[in-house]
Chain A
């Protein structure tokens, strides 16, 4: 697997304008290189050539193959179809009565950044201090050995977006596969979207301080602060564009004065230039429309995270090509007057409008394994079942820009494969086999280990 290096990264890697920055970026570059073939690097699980036969294969992208074979080799899907022959030397898995799915993708988690929510702050690496942290990189904070990794993947989730939160500009998210001994072994896209909490009317004092006193403030004051934050944000974006222009100019003409380096602004530049997507958290219609306008004004790529009322702003979202990562299946409707199913049926409404969307748990890590039930519940309230499945597989991959690698069962894609004894979105369904990067993984976790330790205690 080869990762795309963005133009911006290449541009700034070439000129060695600053030792510190370049060493740092080279670090990222080198681990990106090392990611070349996960099957050689990952130590967990069993590598090899596998043929899953007699299976009901739900390809997601190309319909269902009722009785087919799927071949995994070198970490990739080598072949899939009803009439595929099993290659010699392949480990054969009889999947009679079983279903084969692409691994599910949760596009909105903090997995690996937060282990124990309360009472162990030392295990929390979600929010950096301060409001502007464009340079904070989730990939450098994710604990590859978090117990959440195994617990999540044994329920069929193989890929997640893990993101920083807090402040206004929280930092850059990472897309990881849920297997690997190091961060770079896990990385699918080490530096994905920048997370920005879109300024909104709130009582929050500003900055991220969950322990600070939250003195209520007044509406007019909150409105003023919201507008101010929006202005501040725009200024940051313009500064970042300018910064990048200066760097570019210097790269072309070394006679120019050596520009100053600012890590935070440098990190923001590719996003401000619209080269990489920005994930904006926004829930209410006015804020979602605000994001759309902001994206249009600043000529950036935006994704909505949250999206309670995104369906109401479908026109502007479609016009600006903004997708929605919906994280509110397990949320209570905010207003007493909202219908009881207001947030259950939002995905169905989104789907009808034609806005690109996926469903995410929005969870810190421990409950990411519930992803299929989030999608399923949307299915209980109007979203067609096939769409529910797509909303946690192919659609998520498309929104995260990794549909060429994961999200469906197609030849050439990464072999993130889940074999189940039923509908993958149903809570009674069990995962029977699990492959990530083509490695067959044991279905064990902290939970099964504790289970085994105590199950026979009398």
Chain B
């Protein structure tokens, strides 16, 4: 026993020293003379940002940094907080567990893959964090993972440690599965209607409530035999206890409203309505509950339940006092969320800073990570993007993206590295082991034409793809 304690002590000392080292190794950074869109306290002209230990240490003019600090001259450039995508399936080796209508036992954390090239491409679009969600094939899907895109780091570094846990729900066409070909010979899964979807959710919460009671009774010593731990119901108990955020995919306003009513009944709050393209029809009901809306800027008509979607949705929700974020649900669209936010100014007239919040601070609020990220404020993580032009201009692109003061994307570096990569390829291809067999051999892979990028996540399952 003693040995174990000593051992643990040693490990923790090691960990502490490691942490200290890594914290120290994060160099001081001074971004000079930028136009800073803070997403909290307006826009600052000719401002400096001093970053220490990965945090924003000071914001102001003519700031001084220590002699070994890296100074970035951002004259003529624009700085925003890192973009946060509140609905994504990037870096997931699996998206949907299709089998059951309730798959709350699954955890996105288990299938995160830090090598997905889509992460880098998102960084190049200024995205630093994302809400990674289970697909929408199930009325109640799996547990989410809130991450920062620390591309190149081990997977445990991606996960934001103090982000509250969440879970995916889904309403409408996707959990009904009526748009999808059933497996030949398979019994169709319940539910097949919106009626059934609501009953699946109700049933799950009834079971969760009973499950919670069985544990409460046991803990109060009313029963003697410890109940079985049920991984399906545990996260739902957390929802009932307000400890887990519900991110509910849905389109039609009626079903989102029905879910909120069910939540009222069971005593929890829905954290975000995802997609929510008709949410403008029930803006007051959403605002009253403090539920957030995470929407596409202006997608519509790609499925029947998205036919009443309007680009004014964001504006109407904002006007009603709803916290609105704009998400991508797509590795492709993720790269241009800044333009999506700009559209909010066009459709209805959301003010500039409020539009910027929809891809930064508001998403952080919806994910419960706004204490550490989402805006440029002293004390927050230095998750920062430097743009060559105003980020709401279509002609802008990200020059540099940093997370906690470390640079994860640098356009100049990316461009200068291309020749190096070409040389590396040349060397590698010349190696014996990489030469094609002299004769015979298996056929090469069929070249791909387009890379999949879907608007909606119900039919996505990367397991069948070409990923290794």
Question: Which A residues lie at the B interface, using CB under 8 A?
Answer: 115-120, 147-148, 200-203, 211, 217-220, 222, 283-284, 330-337, 339-341, 365-367, 372-373, 376-377, 379-381, 385, 425-430, 446-448, 450-451, 454-455, 457-458
Contact = CB atoms under 8 A, between A and B. Distances in A.
Given A118-B304, A380-B395, A427-B343, A201 B280 contact: no
Nearest to B452: A332
Nearest to A370: B298
Interface stretch (B103-111, B226-234, B441-449): B441-449
Given A334-B449, A447-B312, A451-B312, 17 more contacts: A116-B303, A118-B173, A119-B303, A283-B449, A284-B449, A334-B448, A334-B450, A339-B418, A341-B124, A341-B397, A366-B300, A373-B394, A376-B393, A380-B396, A425-B394, A448-B312, A455-B316
Contact of B316 (A222, A365, A446, A454): A454
A446 B298 CA distance: 13
A380 B391 CA distance: 11
Nearest to B300: A366
A66 B384 CA distance: 39
Given A340-B124, A377-B339, A429-B346, A147 B301 contact: yes
A118 B457 CA distance: 13
B76 to A, nearest CB: 16
B313 to A, nearest CB: 9
B296 to A, nearest CB: 11
Contact of A202 (B342, B343, B446): B446
A332 B121 contact: yes
A123 B443 CA distance: 41
Contact of A331 (B301, B332, B396): B332
B7 interface: no
A148 B393 CA distance: 25
A206 to B, nearest CB: 14
Nearest to B333: A330
A379 B284 contact: no
Interface in B317-373: 331-333, 335-336, 339, 342-343, 345-346, 348
A339 B409 CA distance: 13
Contacts of B395: 376, 379-380, 385, 425-426
A211 B181 contact: yes
Interface in B269-308: 280-281, 283-284, 299-305, 307-308
Contacts of A119: 173, 178-179, 303-305
Contacts of A336: 117
Contacts of B343: 427
Closest A-B pairs by Cβ, 9 of them? A376-B394, A219-B443, A366-B301, A118-B303, A332-B451, A427-B342, A119-B304, A117-B302, A447-B310
Contacts of A220: 443
Contacts of B124: 340-341
Contacts of B389: 380
B332 to A, nearest CB: 5
B414 interface: yes
Contact of A372 (B283, B394, B443, B451): B394
Contacts of B421: 337
Contacts of A202: 446, 449
| Chain B interface, >50% SS class | loop
15 contacts: A116-B301, A118-B179, A119-B178, A120-B303, A120-B304, A284-B449, A334-B447, A339-B414, A340-B335, A366-B300, A373-B336, A447-B311, A450-B312, A451-B280, A454-B316
Contacts of B283: 454, 457
Given A340-B414, A341-B124, A115 B301 contact: yes
Nearest to A429: B346
Contacts of B120: 340
A312 to B, nearest CB: 14
B295 to A, nearest CB: 14
Nearest to A223: B443
- Name, among A116, A202, A211, the residue most crowded by chain B CB atoms within 10 Å (CB to CB): A116
Nearest to B312: A451
A214 B333 CA distance: 27
Interface of B: 117-118, 120-121, 124, 173, 178-179, 181, 280-281, 283-284, 299-305, 307-308, 310-312, 316, 331-333, 335-336, 339, 342-343, 345-346, 348, 389, 392-397, 414, 418, 421, 425, 443-451, 453, 456
A384 to B, nearest CB: 10
Nearest to A339: B418
Contacts of A332: 118, 121, 331-332, 451, 453
B90 to A, nearest CB: 11
| Chain A interface, >50% SS class | loop
Nearest to B282: A457
B183 to A, nearest CB: 11
Contacts of A380: 389, 394-397
B284 A458 contact: yes
B222 to A, nearest CB: 48
- Name, among A119, A201, A217, A335, the residue most crowded by chain B CB atoms within 10 Å (CB to CB): A119
A377 B425 CA distance: 30
Contacts of A379: 394-395
A427 B303 CA distance: 24
Contacts of B300: 366, 447
A359 B308 CA distance: 28
Contacts of A376: 339, 393-395
Nearest to A328: B450
A372 B339 CA distance: 12
B225 to A, nearest CB: 48
Contacts of B394: 372-373, 376-377, 379-380, 425-427
Given A211-B181, A379-B395, A451 B447 contact: no
A426 B393 contact: yes
B346 A428 contact: yes
Contacts of B348: 451
A333 B448 CA distance: 10
B121 A284 contact: no
B121 A340 contact: yes
Contacts of A340: 120-121, 124, 335, 414
Contacts of B425: 337
Contacts of A211: 181
Nearest to B411: A341
A241 B437 CA distance: 45
A283 B450 contact: yes
A260 B205 CA distance: 70
Contacts of A367: 299
Given A377-B394, A451-B316, A116 B307 contact: yes
Nearest to B122: A340
Contacts of A334: 447-451
A283 B310 CA distance: 32
A350 B204 CA distance: 56
- Name, among A332, A367, A426, A430, the residue most crowded by chain B CB atoms within 10 Å (CB to CB): A332
Contacts of A426: 342, 393-395
A282 to B, nearest CB: 9
B446 A222 contact: yes
A201 B447 contact: yes
B197 to A, nearest CB: 15
A201 B447 CA distance: 7
